[in-house]
Amino acid sequence: MRTPLIAGNWKMHLAPTEARKYAIRLRVRLADVRGRDILVFPPFTALPAVIEELGRSGIACGGQNLHWEKQGAFTGEISAPFLADLGCSHVLVGHSERRHIFGETDEDCGRKTRAALDAGLTPILCVGETLEQREADATRQVIERQLAAGLKPVQEDEKFVLAYEPVWAIGTGRTASPEQADEVHRHIRAWLGSRFTPDLAARVRILYGGSVKPENVDDLMKLPDLDGVLVGGAALNADSFDRIVRFLP
């Protein structure tokens, strides 16, 4: 059985003081949760405060992005060893906003995945199609291309997580229907079985991200190949995130 993973991406919200207060609120509210993993992605500047407050709460922290080099003349960037030293356990790779706003390529994602693994971080590789690609019936081809490049440097025994986030459903209020999400998640798991082994395909967690909210999380989490959610806006509200974490199986 794959343990469900509920992850909240705070994006460019919550300065360190606000983030610390919010982390305390989550730590108290979610203290009794069992049977699922909880992970938050604060902004880089808030990571020390959030990690300090969450401590041994069981809520893990991750970085929203990373550079593939360990150090160097890369102004404004942050490396995997820096994140690991802060106490991060995970890092997002290839989030749709990084791909479509900042121009990150599939090859960039592969290098970042390798850098994360080398630093002892668990990469969460994000894949997904735009509305134009879906309407052109190219969803599978796009996702297979992103997976092939992003996971190219990964070995069978290395740990990673995947997140399917249809670009047309991120921050738009539109959510992939359970049937749409189920179809893509099943295809991703089948692809993993052909690219690696059935054993790896059976153990890798595949999340869904795209306007996840309390009203739709229960239906999404009933899907057999959906192992958790990557939450955006709803992760910034304690009531909403609490309800999502406590999804009804």
CATH number at residue 39: 3.20.20.70
> Is 11 annotated as contributing to ligand binding?
yes
- Kindly list the catalytic residues: 95, 165
Q: Are strands 37-41 and 5-9 parallel, antiparallel or unpaired?
A: parallel
- This prediction's pTM: 0.96
Contact 145, 109 (CB under 8 A): no
For residue 88, the model assigns a pLDDT of 98
Q: Is 173 annotated as a binding residue?
A: no
210 marked as part of a ligand binding site: no
The SS3 assignment for 220 reads helix
Is 9 known as a binding-site position? yes
Q: Under a CB-based contact definition with an 8 Å cutoff, are residues 124 and 7 in contact?
A: yes
pLDDT of residue 249: 82
Task: Look up the domain containing 44 and give its range.
Answer: 5-245
* Number of domains into which the chain is organized: 1
Known binding residue 110? Answer is no
* Mean pLDDT in consecutive groups of 10 residues from the start of the chain, 249 residues: 96 98 98 97 98 95 98 98 98 96 97 98 97 92 98 96 91 81 96 96 96 95 97 97 96
Say what the pLDDT of residue 175 is: 76
The Cα-based distances of 152 to 76, 87, 109, 123, 144 in angstroms read 27, 26, 10, 13, 12
Rounded CA-CA distance 230/9 in Å is: 7
Q: How far is CA 79 from the centre of its chain?
A: 18
